[in-house]
Chains A and B, each alone.
Chain A
């Protein structure tokens, strides 16, 4: 009885307390759970489709990512030849070959091809990288056969007519001319030009003048040498299995004849370790665009994943070091980020910022310091975890569409990468810790990055005096002169 009374009193007190709490909360105007961000739930499992592979009798490799719920099929043809495979005297041949593939066969004009693609509601695009070229056809599942037929006609019967080549040269010329006005494009190109000096990857950097010299013969030679089934692969994603996919691909591509393909070996390229500051004169540029970068590991390296985390911490988002320092704290920059790009034999990283001309010197010092800091002082586990959280959250988002998913698969197959780049991405990123990050930073971020500043020389000249030496180039990458302590030599 006593016990019950005590218990009743206790409960009454509890109810009163609860009621008081509710009243207080209402008086305060909001419920308690609104005051701070909720904790995330447990990380959900990443389940990308399994990949099935087969090699056809002519050597063409086929990989299928089955997505039964998709109304589309993405067909991605990868040819293992890119900018680096161009003859030394014809950089641009890889891009021209890829562009001309969809510009006519003996029986179909460029316009006919365009019409046939649109008639089935398909999207076609192509892209040339340093190591490979990709042709993508995204199509409604019902129209897959027609799409494959068009793709095979383009791939097997392209006629590279002089008329189309002239048209392409005209448009490419003006496109490159236009790109040459974009400070970021100019800075990125110059960085690659310097870092890849003497390496086949340097062929990926060329100006509009080069386009004029490409001939039909050059294109035919490039095509004849590299566009072979045994040097290509086809990725298909959508509602189809390996049997159906290989039957269809075999039907449309079985007349593609193999031939041994030899690609030049890629020499090892050492990262820069000298003080190099370049200015590219881009008249009329209002601000100064800074790129500071160096060579790093290829995609296949186990260091790739820790480096991704480091890059994220350095300049992946607006809460990363570069942005917080150069924009939020110092107020030098409109933006400040870092990026990476990976190839077969190496990779590139760069920090980039757009700043007012008067802040050029200080901004460069801060960028170099932010990069170096990662290699001399261990990054905090909080920063590491935050960077990992971004990468893990962003991975499915970046690979969500069928197009993007197959695009990733194409990259994986083109570079012969393992499952850590596919279904095991989460686990691999999870393994990165402070020590692994530090070890990677010491390996790749200690060598001095090359600094490229793009701006109007007249606007930035006064602010370059603090640099010991600056090499000044024109917008096409030709060296004009050197400045020592701001004085032209």
Chain B
């Protein structure tokens, strides 16, 4: 009997060990494992429901795969205009009533227009889920688009634009820099549009954009919070199932490849700039598998926090920058790293620029110390987990995961990939992408 038991134990150990040695899965990441239900309605609407019992709240997020990338030349600002029009009423809801309904019950709401998506979101008491779905479904189904409402919103956007252009220092330079960084029209034009284009946008342009992209088969609906999944499914079905599917979404045209051009250095005089400054960036396209994760960690290493490389050297140690910001700018399949520094005078600006370039050069040849890499990863980890720390963050994150193709189930595996970035892989990424041909510099002079 004893021998038999021992044999079984040994057999077990023998069976277990080889398995453990080559396929030990990473431990689940706390916070990233939560129940998710995912399905698609007959009209093509993707639905994600994430249960979170902690508080009687639910966030309702709708992401439409429509943004500035879908705008044509002469239509800059159209996506942002439609986002604003989504608050101007629909068949059963008067203008601005969406906001009032949510405000009255203590909820919060907002919207975001980005390059490849427009997102509408609200967080309400979980017993008000039906209200949020009713509001969102009504504007998906039957937005009121009249020439009066279009003109009114256009006017307010133009006034916002004028106000920003006369009060935001460095805004003009940022727009120009982004055009230099993303030379294709679709990727490089300003999200908020231009006064000239906004004025030209017609009611028909708006209606056509809405009818093409604000359809269930181009959207993701995500609910996160204290919900009963069956009841939530019933409500989603009630409000969204009968909204007709739209036409097939036009495939994004063949995007022209980045023109094979060398580095760019230009200058601009900004009448609002209180001090000289510069924008410095690198374009990354196309990316090799895995490069994305290295670039993301590099963003933290160079630019996040007050102990990152550039802040430490430029602001704290050498005091050649009075302001520093930047980070990765992701625009669907295009990506760039942007750095912006404000300096006391032209001489400082020049020194500062040289210092940035020398830090990049250093990264090409010397391994990043483990301690520094660990700091960057810890900051990244905290940010990543913060993205699931509230119902709204979670719903936005799940929509993002769905749009990017990772999917809700892939969040943990995706996280591991960032954690596996090594000093050696970083050197590879930097040498591949931080080349003079990919460098764009825009010097901003004070008038």
- Which residues of A approach B to under 8 Å, CB–CB? 29-31, 33-47, 67, 69-72, 111, 114-115, 118-123, 139-141, 143, 239, 317-319, 386, 389-397, 399-402
Contacts and interface: CB of A to CB of B under 8 A. Distances in A.
Contact of B125 (A31, A44, A139): A44
Given A115-B307, A140-B378, A396-B56, A72 B127 contact: no
Contacts of A386: 104
Interface of B: 29-31, 54-57, 91-92, 99-101, 103-108, 123-131, 134, 137-138, 141-142, 226, 238-239, 242, 305-308, 312, 316, 371, 374-375, 378-382, 385-386, 389-391
A397 B316 contact: no
Given A37-B134, A401-B389, A121 B381 contact: yes
Contacts of A29: 91, 142
A396 to B, nearest CB: 4
A397 B390 CA distance: 9
A38 B130 contact: yes
Contacts of A35: 92
B152 to A, nearest CB: 16
Contacts of A39: 130
Contacts of B100: 318-319
Nearest to B34: A69
Contact of A118 (B31, B105, B375, B381): B375
Which of A119, A386, A391 has the largest number of chain B CB atoms within 10 A? A119
A408 B342 CA distance: 38
Given A31-B242, A36-B92, A393-B124, A143 B56 contact: no
B107 A393 contact: yes
B391 A389 contact: no
B307 A118 contact: yes
A30 B30 contact: no
Given A40-B128, A46-B56, A121-B380, 13 more contacts: A30-B92, A31-B242, A34-B91, A34-B134, A36-B92, A41-B127, A46-B55, A69-B30, A71-B389, A123-B382, A139-B382, A319-B103, A400-B55
B133 to A, nearest CB: 8
Q: Say whether chain B's binding surface is mostly helix, strand, loop, or mixed.
A: helix
A282 to B, nearest CB: 18
A34 B126 CA distance: 20
B380 to A, nearest CB: 8
A428 to B, nearest CB: 15
A119 B378 contact: yes
A119 B134 CA distance: 46
24 contacts: A37-B131, A40-B105, A40-B127, A40-B128, A43-B127, A67-B54, A69-B30, A70-B389, A71-B389, A72-B385, A111-B312, A114-B307, A115-B375, A119-B307, A119-B371, A121-B375, A121-B378, A140-B381, A318-B100, A386-B104, A392-B106, A396-B125, A400-B54, A400-B57
Given A38-B130, A318-B99, A43 B378 contact: no
A402 B242 contact: no
A430 to B, nearest CB: 14
B369 to A, nearest CB: 12
B275 to A, nearest CB: 15
B123 A397 contact: yes
B378 A393 contact: no
Nearest to B126: A44
Contacts of B30: 69, 71, 141, 239
Contacts of A319: 100, 103-104
A393 B125 contact: yes
Nearest to A116: B307
In the A-B complex, the 6 residue pairs with the closest CB atoms: A393-B106, A394-B106, A121-B378, A71-B31, A44-B56, A121-B382
A44 B142 CA distance: 31
Contacts of A44: 56, 125-127, 226
Given A35-B92, A69-B31, A41 B124 contact: no
Contacts of B238: 33
Contact of B108 (A115, A140, A397): A397
A37 B105 contact: no
Nearest to A30: B91
A390 B106 contact: yes
A111 B92 contact: no
B134 A38 contact: yes
A135 to B, nearest CB: 18
B130 A41 contact: yes
B105 to A, nearest CB: 4
A139 B378 CA distance: 10
B316 A111 contact: yes
B64 to A, nearest CB: 20
A392 B125 contact: yes
Contacts of B305: 114, 118
A72 B130 contact: no
B375 A119 contact: yes
A36 B385 CA distance: 39
A166 to B, nearest CB: 16
A34 B138 contact: yes
Nearest to B242: A31
A254 to B, nearest CB: 27
A72 B123 CA distance: 22
A72 B242 CA distance: 42
A272 B129 CA distance: 45
A120 to B, nearest CB: 6
Contacts of A34: 91-92, 134, 137-138, 141, 239
B104 A390 contact: yes
Contacts of A402: 389
Contacts of A70: 31, 389
B306 A118 contact: yes
Contacts of B92: 30, 34-36
